[in-house]
Amino acid sequence: MRKLLLRSSLALTLSATALTGCSSTTNPGVIGSDRQQLLLVSSEQVLQLSAQSYNQTLQEARKKGVLDTDPAMKARLERIANRLIPQVSAYRGDAARWNWDVHTIKSDQLHAYVMPGGKIMVYPGIVDRLNLTDAEIAAIMGHEMAHALREHARERMSSQYATQAGIGIAASVFGLSQGQAQLATIAGDLGISRPHSRTQESEADKIGLVLMAKAGYDPNASLTLWQKMQRASKGAPPQFLSTHPSSGNRLAALSALIPDVMPYYNQARQ
Ligand SMILES: [Zn+2]
């Protein structure tokens, strides 16, 4: 019996490995990048689908006249992104060459996200209503960029694929059925509107902190950011928090990490 179990678990391991299986999207030895990931769907598949979803979003926003309506806001966000982007090479060399992109959609909602491949979207509502400083914006962007670097959307699609519930999605991903537009919607949905897991959240917190510190933004701003977010969640919770579930100890975990990233911040300021 034990032998049989052993053999079947070995077979499972082998087939998972054959499907690319467990690996990591980022360089080892950097804060927040140590976890092995289940990656059954390729980056190319995810990028292709999410690019369609992203372009669809941009087109619709442009049609409604809500895309990039405030040039000063867009310029501010781009300036912050341009300080953060060069820091990503600590995690993965290819990401520094991604076509990073910053857009805004006029909305009062407290929301921001990064699509796979580095497409940053910020709703000005989150900046204005929370009265965010540049460093607090860098904390949001760094966190979002971390989700893209670690390919958390691809990981979620992979775990869907690994379950019965994901068979429809798997069929779609491998082009077995359904129209392309529908596929893009699925990819977009998985990428931005499903909640990240707690594990992914704490990873994004850690990596985001490193990125902002290396870019010369005071990592303590991550604490004031999440405090503002918490205060805003009395009443109607911000959309951002529905896709980025907070664990009770987020602030404590961030505080504990700040001494580790302060050297990056001090170095960047010199
Ligand atoms: Zn998150």
Distance in Å, CA 1 to ligand 1 centroid: 43
Selected residue with higher pLDDT from 182 and 85: 85
Selected residue with higher pLDDT from 140 and 174: 140
Cα–Cα distance measured from residue 14 to residue 35, given in angstroms and rounded to the nearest whole number:
20
Distance in Å, CA 146 to ligand 1 centroid: 8
Residue 48 has a pLDDT of 84
Distance in Å, CA 140 to ligand 1 centroid: 9
Q: By three-state DSSP, how is residue 205 classified?
A: helix
Cα–Cα distance measured from residue 155 to residue 138, given in angstroms and rounded to the nearest whole number:
24
So where are the chain's domains? 42-269
Mean pLDDT of all residues in 72-85: 98
Mean pLDDT of all residues in 183-211: 77
Distance in Å, CA 209 to ligand 1 centroid: 12
Distance in Å, CA 193 to ligand 1 centroid: 11
Give the DSSP H or E segment for 104: strand 101-104
Distance in Å, CA 266 to ligand 1 centroid: 26
For the ranges 46-55, 187-196, 249-258, the one whose mean pLDDT is highest: 249-258
Cβ neighbours of residue 53 under 8 Å, at least 6 residues apart? 115, 184, 185, 187, 188, 191
CB count in 10 Å sphere of residue 237:
14
Tell me the average pLDDT of the chain: 82
Selected residue with higher pLDDT from 146 and 182: 146
Mean pLDDT of all residues in 229-240: 80
pLDDT tens readout for residues 93-141: 999 889 999 999 999 999 999 888 899 999 999 999 999 999 999 999 9
Distance in Å, CA 12 to ligand 1 centroid: 31
Residue 23 has a pLDDT of 80
pLDDT tens readout for residues 51-63: 888 899 999 999 9
Determine the number of helices (DSSP H) and then strands (DSSP E) in the chain: 12, 5
- pTM summary value: 0.82
